[in-house]
Each structure stands twice: as structure tokens, then as C-alpha cells.
Chain A
Amino acid sequence: MRTLPSLLANTAAERLSHSIRALLQPLGAVLAALVVGAALIALTGVDPFFAYQKMWEGIAKSNYQIGLVLVKATPLLIIGLGLGLAFNSGVFNIGAEGQLYMGALIGTAIAIQAWGLPAWLHILLSLVGGFVGGGLWGLLPGYLKARHNINEVITTILLNYIAIYIVSYFTHGPLRDNPFAEAALPQTPEVQPSSQLPLIWPPTRLHAGFPLGILLAAILYIVTYRMAFGYKARAVGSSPAAAHYAGMNPTQIMVIVMVVSGGLAGIAGTVEILGVQHRLRDMFSPGLGYSAIAIALMGNNHPLGILLASVVFGALQVGANNMQALAGVPVTIVDVIQAMVIFFVAVGAIIRWRAPLMALFKPKRVTSD
């Protein structure tokens, strides 16, 4: 896949300008997408300014709403980090949705157990369970891609459907809460109080998952840009032949990356249960794993960019709910905006427009053949 210029910058000044671009680029893409979104809203007969005003009010009218923005951003951030790592390494993992489900399944299965553990341990165990569940779901496509060059896009997509039905089975069957009750919903019992993520900004709904996400972003940054493993992973992504030549083991690296990528999605799923929903429900995710693709691409696969992108989309989500309630614009406009962000980033619109300008100042040698 097209990799945007990495954040491996030259001089301090250039590094700063790269960082600024890492921040500006996602915002530019979102702004462009919002403009197209406005046209769509107008098409349905609603005044787009009125609609966006309602959206903005939904985001900024209270601390509670801001807390909600960060709550919505949390799973997107954690999944996006894993996807960014995978994309950096040349694996287009679009199976985060399934990995999220499998992680949530195992995480929840641990979290509902009344083992009488201290909270920190119960939470930790659940999160590890989530990592394992998601990681296993990433292992298979990662192995098939690395070892047998089997296109990961198709395998991960199909595994998404399979994972959703597996969770469906458990929520209807073995893990169902009180199956004998009349009209019982397909969901697990509530997770133990000891495994619920503490709220950190009462009275908002913001839970400890968000700082966990920031911590993970910092770790991912260090691993990707400061550790030998990250250099190797990026080398495998941008020049697989060079990586092999340099004695790296692309197969191994791709598999590890896919396990971590899936594992992070699994953690995100677990966090969503432990922090927000407190029960694993059939079909509980509104496509978080797909939204996170836009997050990772928009964030240039860089942890900082992903953090920013996830907050922006958390805000769009919260705002869109308000917009739906008060302006009658369906929330799925956010999906459209996400898709357009993917388009904008994929064609590198911003960079493309920049290139001719740069060429004026920096004549580049082109060799003929």
C-alpha cells in the first residue's frame, strides 16, 4: 500500500514540520469530508449549517459531552494503534472488527467470573484475555499472509463475519445471562464490579480506558520509532526485499505485527465492555473495527496522529447523535465522512497538491532509462 512519508524526519526543524503535518493532515481531510457531508445534508433538505451547529452543540455543550467524546474515542484509538502498526508493516488488516469481538469474548468471559480478585488483577487478567483473543484472530491471517502470501484483506474480512457469529453463539448460549428468564436478551451477565474500569472524571462517563489508550499510544510510538523491532517492521512494510536482504525475518515480523494488531483490537473490545457496556451483547459493535481503518489512515499510521484522529471521530460521533436528535440527520453521515477521509488520504490529496509546489524549490533529478 501507499505509505505516506514516514515521520522519520531529517533535521529538528523538519521533524517539527513533519509533526505539524501529522496534525494538520487529518484535520484537512476531515474538513474536506465535512464539506462534502454538508452537500449531502443539503440534498436531504436539511440546512447543513443548522445541522452542523447542532453537531457542534452536541460536542461542546458540557463536560459530560466532552467525556462522552473521549469515551467514544477510546476503542477507536486502541484499535487504530494496532491497525497503524499493521499498515506500517505492509499488512492491510481490515479484520479489526472480528479481532475486537474475539477479544471482547475472552475478556468478558474472564471479567464475569466471581473469583474475588482485587480489581487491578481482575482488570489486568481480562485485558490480557482480550489481547489473547484478538491476537489469535490476527495470527491466522498474519501467518497465511507472511508464509503463503494469501491476501489478508479477504481472510480478515471473512474472519470478521465468523467472529461475530461465534460471539452470537456465546451470547445466546453458554454465556447467556439467565437463559430461563422470559424474553432474556442475548447478552452475558454483568461483569464483576472488580473488573469494571473505574470512572476517572465523574460525573462524566469517562473511564480508565482512555488513559490506558494514551499509555498504549506512547508504547506503540516507542516500539515503532525508537526500538529496533519498529525499524524492522517499517522496513518490512516499505521494502520487503531490502528487509530480507538485511537479514531481517519478514515472516516472523509480519506474524508478530498481526498478533499485536489483533491483540490491541481485542483489548479495545474488552475495554468497551469493562468500561462502558458491562455486558457482552450480540452484535455489540457498530463497526468500530472498520471506523478504525479511517482513524489509522487519517493519523498517518502514527500514534500521535491516531490519537488526534480518534478524538476527532469520537467528537463527530457524539455530535452526530445530537444532530440526529435535533436536526433529523441520520448518524450514519459519520460513516460517509469516514469513507471520504479514507479516499482523501488514499489519494494523498494534500501531499499531491504540495508536490508541484515543492518541485519549484527543489529540482529533483529524474533519470531516464
Chain B
Amino acid sequence: MPAPLLEMRQIVKSFGSLRANDRIDFEVRAGETHALLGENGAGKTTLMNILYGLYQPDSGEIYWKGEKITLHSPRDAIRHRIGMIHQHLMLVPNLTVLENVLVGLRSPKAPLLPVRETLSRLEDFAVQYGLSVDPARKVKELPLGLQQRVEILKALFRGADLLILDEPTAVLSPLEVEELFAVLKNLVSKGVSIIFISHKLDEVLRISDRITVLRQGKRIGTLEAGHATREILTEMMVGRSIALDRSFPKGAAAQPILELKNVSLIRPKVGRILKNISLTLHRGEILGVAGIDGNGQEELADVVCGLIPYSEGQMLIEGCPVLNPTPQKMKAAGLGYVPADRQRVGLVRNFSVAHNLVLKSLDDPPFNAYGFVQEKVVRLNAQQMIAEFDIRATDPLQPVEQLSGGNQQKVILGRELKLATRLLVAVHPTRGLDVGATESVRRFLYSQKERGVGILLISADLDELLAMSDRIAVMFRGEILGIVPGERAFLPAISRMMLGEHLEAVVQ
């Protein structure tokens, strides 16, 4: 049996006290599509960044085509004909496709750019791999699917025997995913090997020859795709602790709290971000919002919370229209908002836990008297909240940036739950948190529901939505394609709507 194309042996990489890669073995055979599967934070991207020379491993060896190599920078990786398509595309939006493909390449016409030569090579590639794209267009004018093509072209131009794709489908529409898969199959038939990083089981099962599963920085195992099933892979990915999927009791009152009627958000030059959104949220209801990232969910949250003024339509709270909502108005109406970006938006990082807990109430009694912040009251309030929400802080006056992600989220939750007397909007509330923190965040949300607060829960985690929501609305390109009950039976319908099919079409 010939030596594998690539062998990574006993790779270790730590960041501080966190072991991102713990003695990982990984190999790729020539001509295969090898999937690297695992949850967020399992260490997939770290391993691949090591392979691409962006990180140096603490220990371990890399063998490439049978020879031991060290990779100090991407330049070395490129020299060895290893290409990588990053999850966040490494393209320069303001440059043209041609310039993006050319940058960093050695030119036969040095020091001038080999424009004409490259154009003809691009045409060859278009024919050979089915990768056609207009080289004169600026990258920022292209849809994401085409941008990804440019990335692939970039890698192929540098010569790639091995192509690493990091979560390539995360931002693609279903049609674009199909196109990508066709391109990948074509590449494999031309002799390119592929590492396909994903946490999506179906895609992995479809595209790959072999699958390696990582969990918490360790390699759990490698399977032939033919022998793998969803169940086996799930168990390998998450271990046996799938307690998170336990469902919360459902049910809500009939009084509407929040109503959106044909709300649209239009941005000049960009177009409609939200299209005629209509939904009703009731007392004590959790309305989940599902969708692939970037389909308008976060904008919907910002609009409801008054951060972005909407362009058309109407918003009502308990039947009263809210004109020109602002964050202050919505706070006064009893709204709490757990934003997606907790570090940048939800918290003032260099403020203390105590002051972050009153960030939205700095002007309100009892925290403010005659313009002065009542430090004692602020501290007392913090002590209570720290106990109530189990925030692990050494002191109420500890800077919030020193807290772990889970505890930071609890600071935000504590603050927002107190404000949310009618309505709570939570965006990706458990993203990036460990199991324990996730569990307590969900419990806090649920207790709020029990108190009759209506919750708009926006999440990319379908299991979370199914476990928590009474109903689930599915968003696609700024539109709500349908609202279904939050039951597992509707999962196929939700998945199809997430890919752009209307509810009516799904039901038929």
C-alpha cells in the first residue's frame, strides 16, 4: 500500500490552558475526499491552520508525500501544493477577481502583473473544472457562492494537490451547495485530494470517502463513509451526553405581545434585508427563528429592539403601535435583548460586572440620583444578581472581560431578564458556550417563559430550537417562509424551508 499523501502524527496545540489539539493523528490518501467532522470548538480549524502553516504545533510531525516537512507560514504550504479555502473567505472585496487570483503569485513578467496570461489560464480553468467567473468584476459584487469559486480558483492557480475546505457550506444556499459539490467531484476526478471540514452530518455523508471525527481536541476515530450512519457519527461527535436535547414543556397563552405586520428593512445599494415580515408572539410563548446564518435573523432582532429603524410596515406591542422604536423606547416597553455579539455589543468590556449589570439603567433610580451613579446600590444589585444567576466572578467590581464566555453571557442574561417584563429577544444565546453554561442559559430563558414573557429565540442550532420553542419561524433571504410547531416531526419541513422552499411547497 502506498504511503498516504498526508500524515499528521500526534499533533498537539495549546492556547493558554486550552488544549485545542491533543495528540491528533490524521491522514489523507491521494485522491480521496476526507471529511473532518466535529462540533464547534472540537479543534478542526486549529488542526487545519497548522497544516496550512498559520499556526505552529507545540509538538507532532507532518509527513507530506512520504517526507517529513515543517510549515512555518502559508508560503511553505503553498510551495508544497497545499491549498486552503477558509471559512471566512480570504478575498479582498475591493479588488477584482483577477487581482485576487493574482496576488502573491510569482509573475513570469515580473515586476509587471501577468494580466493577459492569467486571463487565458482562467479561461482554461473555467472549461476544465467548470469554474467560470467574470475576472473583471470586483469580488464584493459577487454572491458568496461565486466568491467561494474565486477562492478555489486562487488555490488551484497556486497548484494544489490537496485542498482544505473549512466549513464551505455554512454561508451557501442549497443550490450553491450543489454547485460546490459538483465542482469538488470534478476536482477529485482530476486528481486533487480534499479535506472537507464540517459539522453537518448529511453533507459529510454525501461528499466524503472517509470521515474523521474530533471531539474536544481529540481524535475519536476514522470511518469509511460507507460504514457510517448519522447515529454513529452523532455519538462520536457529542459523546453519550446528549441530555441537551431534552425538551421543555410547551404551551402559551393567547394574548399577543408583539406583532409585526409586513415589516421591511431596506438598505440603500444593498436592497431588502427584511421582506414583509409578519409574525405574532404571545404571552409565555417561545417563538424560535431558524435559518442559515446571514438570512436576516440578526437584523430582525435589531429591528424589534429598536437598534435599526425599519423602513416599512408596523410593529405593535400589546396592540399598541410603536412608532420609530429606539432602544430606550423598547426598554420602557419591557423588552430585553440578548445580542449575538456579546463581547462587542452586549458588554462594555473594561467595565466591571456590577456596572455592566446596570448598563441600561444608568439613568434610572435607584441606580441614579441627581445624575450620580449610586455605587452602593449598584454593588448590592450586583451581589444579588451574581447569586441569582450563578455568575462566577471574584468580586462585583471585577472587569467583565476577565470572565469566561459563559459567565459573560450570564451577566447579559441577568441584566436583560430583569428588563424583560413583556418581551425577550435572544440571539444565539448559547453559541460557543460549554454544556453546563448552555444548560443554565436555557433554564433561565425557560423560567422567563413561565413568568409569561414572550421570547423571540433566534438560533442556528435546530436542536435548541426544537427543544425550546412553541413554534418555529424559518427565515430565508430576509423572508419568513413559514411558521410550524416546534416539534421534531417538522424537522424535515424546517430544513427544506431553510434551503428556500416555501411552506406550501413543503407541505404538499
B-binding residues in A (CB < 8 A): 3, 5-6, 8-11, 226-229, 231-232, 234-235, 238-239, 241-247, 363-369
Known contacts A10-B398, A235-B351; A363 and B362 CB within 8 A of each other: no
**Are the CB atoms of B397 and A8 closer together than 8 Å?**
yes
Complex Cα distance, B360 from A231, in Å, reads 11
> Within 8 Å of chain A (Cβ to Cβ): is B394?
yes
**For the complex, what is the distance from the CA of A364 to the CA of B339, rounded to whole Å?**
25
Which residues of B have CB within 8 Å of A229?
Answer: 371
| Chain A residue contacts of B16, Cβ below 8 A | 363-366
Q: Which of B46, B307, B397, B432 contacts A244 (CB 8 A)?
A: B307
Contact B359 A242 (CB under 8 A): yes
Q: Which of A6, A228, A363 contacts B17 (CB 8 A)?
A: A363
Q: Does B234 contact A (CB under 8 A)?
A: no
Nearest-neighbor residue (CB-CB) of A239 within chain B: B348
Alpha-carbon distance between A222 and B360 when the two chains are bound, in angstroms: 20
Contacting residue for A226 out of B17, B327, B373, B405, CB 8 A:
B373
A238 close to B405 (CB less than 8 A): no
B34 within 8 A of A: no
Cβ of B43 under 8 Å from chain A: yes
Query: Most B CB atoms within 10 A — which of A243, A244, A246?
Result: A246
Q: DSSP majority for the A interface?
A: loop
Please measure, in the bound complex, the distance between the C-alpha atom of A227 and the C-alpha atom of B372, giving whole angstroms.
4
A244 to B347, CA, bound (A): 11
Asked if B41 and A242 make an inter-chain contact with CB atoms under 8 angstroms apart, the answer reads no
Known: A228-B362, A247-B331. 20 other contacts (CB 8 A): A6-B351, A9-B397, A11-B397, A226-B372, A227-B371, A228-B368, A228-B371, A228-B372, A231-B351, A231-B373, A235-B351, A238-B351, A239-B345, A245-B327, A245-B337, A245-B345, A246-B348, A363-B16, A367-B15, A367-B41
Are A366 and B15 in touch, CB under 8 angstroms? yes
Given contacts A245-B337, A247-B331, contact A367 B18 (CB under 8 A): yes
Nearest B-chain residue to A3, judged by Cβ:
B350
Report the bound CA distance from A246 to B355 in whole Å: 12
Asked if A365 and B18 make an inter-chain contact with CB atoms under 8 angstroms apart, the answer reads yes
Interface residues of B (CB under 8 A from A): 15-18, 20, 41, 43, 45-46, 307, 326-328, 331, 337, 339, 341, 344-352, 355, 359-360, 362-363, 368, 371-373, 375, 394-395, 397-399, 402, 404-405, 432
Report the minimal beta-carbon distance from B36 to chain A, rounded to whole angstroms: 15
Contact B43 A245 (CB under 8 A): no
Shortest beta-carbon distance from B17 to chain A in Å: 5
Q: Which residue on chain A has the smallest CB distance to residue B17? A: A363
**Which 3 A-B pairs have CB atoms at the shortest separation, nearest pair first?**
A247-B327, A366-B16, A366-B15
Q: Please indicate the chain B residues that have their CB under 8 angstroms from the CB of A367 in the complex.
A: 15, 18, 41, 405, 432
Q: Smallest CB-CB separation from B370: which chain A residue?
A: A227
Please give, as numbers and ranges, the residues of chain B lying within 8 Å of A10 by CB-CB distance. Answer: 352, 394-395, 397-399
Taking the nearest CB of chain A, how far is it from the CB of B252, in angstroms?
28
- Chain B contacts of A5 at CB under 8 A? 350, 399
Min CB distance A338 to B, Å, is: 27
The residue on A at minimum CB distance from B353 is: A10
Contact between A368 and B43, CB atoms less than 8 A apart: yes
In the complex the two chains form, what is the Cα distance from A245 to B398 in whole Å?
22
Chain A nearest CB, measured from B284 CB (Å): 26
Question: Which A residues lie within 8 Å of B373 (CB)?
Answer: 226-228, 231
Q: Which residues of B contact A234 (CB under 8 A)?
A: 348, 351
Q: How far is the CB of A248 from chain B (nearest CB, A)?
A: 8
What CA separation (Å) do A5 and B400 show in the bound complex? Answer: 12
Q: Is the CB of A238 within 8 A of B362?
A: no
Cross-chain contact B327 with A246 (CB below 8 angstroms)? yes
